[in-house]
Amino acid sequence: MAATLRPAALPARLARTGRGAAAFVLVTAATFLGLLAITFFIGRVVPIDPVLSVVGDRATQEQYEAARLAMGLDRPLVVQFASYVGDVLRGDLGVSVSTNRPVASDLLRVFPATLEMATIGIVIGVALGVPMGVIAAARQGSWVDQTIRVLALTGYSVPAFWLGLVGLALFYAGLGWVSGPGRVSIFYDGVVAPRSGLLLVDSALAGEWDVFRSAVSHIVLPAAILGFFGLAYIARMTRSFMLDQLGQEFVTTARVKGVPEWRVVWVHAFGPIRIPLITVIGLTYAGLLEGSVMIETVFSWPGIGNYLTTALFNADMNAVLGATLVIGSVFIAINRLSDVLYRVLDPRSRA
């Protein structure tokens, strides 16, 4: 009986997998289209004339009209949006007024700096936030729990720019433990040829250890501050997940059987929360990538946040919309990847 059911079950399983994959692609495409619509709408409602950004405020009326026609702003909004979508899909994000280079090439140049800092930040946040959340839940109501909750609350409450300025004043100007603003000391700038765009990786591959040490000294403070904000959310969510699991009957049964407390906490209770933690960590990572604007501004970090801030001050709408689109796309990609990992690791979610 079982042997006769297997051939019939296989097409049904393939059909379900195909429908799931198609739904995943459609949802991702619809989300990205919504992001394109939002960025396009932002470009039309902000009180900045994109034509003046190109021709300048001293251009004649004839020059203004010629530029407006060349940019296609005389066409209906629906046609403009369709053209905008087509340009984005071809990788054409326009030309930056500030740098006079294609926005896409500018973003490829600055994004690795943000990626490098946010990646180190999320590693710090996970390495400290998860154990802190587990310990806080295991010792609920103790001074350890209260201390961790205060730290998490501080991470939610303290403005990023204030913490960055205090960090520079204390660890750079005061104690001299770290280097100051920038990504590397100025006399090492340009020594290492960019390969991946990740300075730590490129300097290590090139064997330029002086550059590597300088890069570490510059990145440790901003990455630690980003990691602190990530730690706050991860510790809070881990504590919440753990409290729910520690109240379950199977945990009580394990304790009654005499299972050591560390095993009850780290194996029986922590095991089931690893899957939802993936989503939390993924969203936190995306948040660090998009929320690094203030940190990059304070530390003069040459990443996408600093690039976006400069573009805003210069009314460079192509750069603003391009950076916003990239940040939103990264958020969508990490969110969807978290969903995929969740479904792969938890068979129940596929049902």
Gap between the Cα atoms of 284 and 153, Å rounded: 16
- Tens digit of each residue's pLDDT (9 = 90 or more) over 293-328: 788 888 988 888 888 888 878 777 788 888 888 888
134: how many CB neighbours lie within 10 A of its CB? Answer: 21
| Contact of 47 with 315, CB cutoff 8 Å | no
pTM for the model stands at 0.81
Residues 30 and 145 in one domain: no
Residues 175 and 279 in one domain: yes
**Residue located via tokens 């997998």:** 17
**For residue 1, what is the DSSP state?**
-
Residues 297 and 178 in one domain: yes
Separation of CA 285 from chain center: 5
Instruction: Using pLDDT thresholds of 50, 70 and 90, give the confidence band for residue 239.
Output: very high
Residue 123 in domain = yes
Q: State mean pLDDT over 15-19.
A: 68
Residues 215 and 142 in one domain: yes
Q: What angle do CA 59, 60, 63 make, to 5 degrees?
A: 80
Residue 54 in domain = no
Instruction: Using pLDDT thresholds of 50, 70 and 90, give the confidence band for residue 218.
Output: very high
Residue 319 in domain = yes
Q: State mean pLDDT over 212-241.
A: 92
Gap between the Cα atoms of 48 and 99, Å rounded: 18
Residue 322 in domain = yes
Residue 77 has a pLDDT of 76
Q: How many residues belong to the chain? A: 351
Domain count for the chain, please give it: 2
Higher model confidence: residue 229 or residue 36?
Answer: 229
Residues 6+ apart with CB under 8 A from 183: 113, 199, 215, 218, 219, 301, 302
Question: What's phi and psi for 193, nearest 5 deg?
Answer: -70, 130
For the ranges 74-78, 223-227, 284-288, the lowest mean pLDDT is seen at: 74-78
| Contact of 92 with 104, CB cutoff 8 Å | yes
| Contact of 98 with 314, CB cutoff 8 Å | yes
Residues 19 and 167 in one domain: no
Residue 52 in domain = no
DSSP string for residues in 264-298: IIIIIIHHHHHHHHHHHHHHHHHHHHHS-HHHHHH
Residue 97 in domain = no
Question: 47, 66, 82: which is the final residue of a domain?
Answer: 47
Residue 7 has a pLDDT of 55
Task: State yes or no: pLDDT of 283 exceeds 60.
Answer: yes
Residues 191 and 314 in one domain: yes
Residues 16 and 141 in one domain: no
- Domain of residue 38: give its range: 1-47
Residue 129 class from Cβ within 10 Å (0-12 exposed, 13-18 middle, 19+ buried)? buried
Residues 113 and 41 in one domain: no
Residues 4 and 114 in one domain: no
Residue 46 has a pLDDT of 67
Question: 47, 62, 80: which is the final residue of a domain?
Answer: 47
Gap between the Cα atoms of 342 and 349, Å rounded: 8
Helices (H), the chain: 2-45, 50-55, 61-70, 77-89, 103-138, 143-157, 160-167, 199-206, 209-246, 249-256, 261-263, 270-290, 293-298, 304-313, 317-345, 347-350
Residue 198 class from Cβ within 10 Å (0-12 exposed, 13-18 middle, 19+ buried)? middle
Residue 286 has a pLDDT of 84
Q: What is the CATH number of the domain that holds 147?
A: 1.10.3720.10
Task: State yes or no: pLDDT of 6 exceeds 70.
Answer: no
- Per the prediction, the chain carries an average pLDDT of 82
Gap between the Cα atoms of 233 and 296, Å rounded: 21
Residue 332 has a pLDDT of 82
Residues 24 and 173 in one domain: no
Residues 269 and 345 in one domain: yes
Residue 70 in domain = no
- Tens digit of each residue's pLDDT (9 = 90 or more) over 85-100: 888 888 888 888 778 8
Residue 95 in domain = no
Residue 349 class from Cβ within 10 Å (0-12 exposed, 13-18 middle, 19+ buried)? exposed
- Tens digit of each residue's pLDDT (9 = 90 or more) over 153-206: 888 788 888 888 999 999 998 888 888 888 888 888 878 888 888 889 888 888
